[in-house]
Amino acid sequence: MAEPIVVAGGVVVPASALSLRATRSSGPGGQNVNKVASKIELRVDLDRVDGLEDGARARLVALARARLDAEGRLLVTSQRTRDQGRNLEDAREKVRALVRRAMVVPRPRRPTRASAKARAKRLDSKRERGQRKRAREAVRGDED
């Protein structure tokens, strides 16, 4: 079986949370493509990732939402190279990067207000656009 994926700061994806499947790749390799199963499909049970805080776990599920299979496991594939071992390492690195990204706490958004000058400029440009359109309307009305 695969070995655990150590992410950072005590966060580990245990080997029991991983399932691996090798299939034929559609990538580079010439005639080799038809013979060798070099594409890697790595499935990760996100509920079994150790050491993740609740917020990070929620962010991880949100980040991975598009790549979840029917059982709710993350599906990561790699067919970048002709070598199965390198594709496996690439898929493991993709999982590592995704979990690292989920561990980053987003900065809270501070609501800001546009300055009085910026608001006035915006309203002036809207007024100007409206006048330009009204001027076109008047020209078009004369044609009928």
**What integer pLDDT is reported at residue 108 of this predicted model?**
94
Same domain, yes or no, for 63 and 125? Answer: no
Domain assignment present for residue 25? The answer is: yes
Number of domains in the chain: 2
Alpha-carbon distance of 106 to 131, in angstroms, equals: 43
Give the mean pLDDT of 84-103.
91
pLDDT mean across residues, the chain: 86
Same domain, yes or no, for 94 and 57? Answer: yes
Domain assignment present for residue 108? The answer is: no
Domain boundaries, position 74: 5-103
Residue 75 CB partners (closer than 8 Å, separation 6+):
41, 42, 43, 67, 68, 69
Among candidate residues 42, 40, 133, the one with its CA nearest the CA of residue 81: 40
If one counts every other C-beta atom within 10 angstroms of the C-beta of residue 53, the result is 12
Same domain, yes or no, for 118 and 97? Answer: no
Residue 84 has pLDDT above 60, yes or no: yes
Q: Report residue 71's pLDDT band, with 50, 70 and 90 as the boundaries.
A: confident
Alpha-carbon distance of 53 to 121, in angstroms, equals: 46
Residue 42 has pLDDT above 80, yes or no: yes
Domain assignment present for residue 45? The answer is: yes
Q: Report residue 35's pLDDT band, with 50, 70 and 90 as the boundaries.
A: confident
The residue with tokens 């080997």 is: 15
Domain assignment present for residue 109? The answer is: no
Domain assignment present for residue 94? The answer is: yes
**What integer pLDDT is reported at residue 105 of this predicted model?**
92
Same domain, yes or no, for 26 and 80? Answer: yes
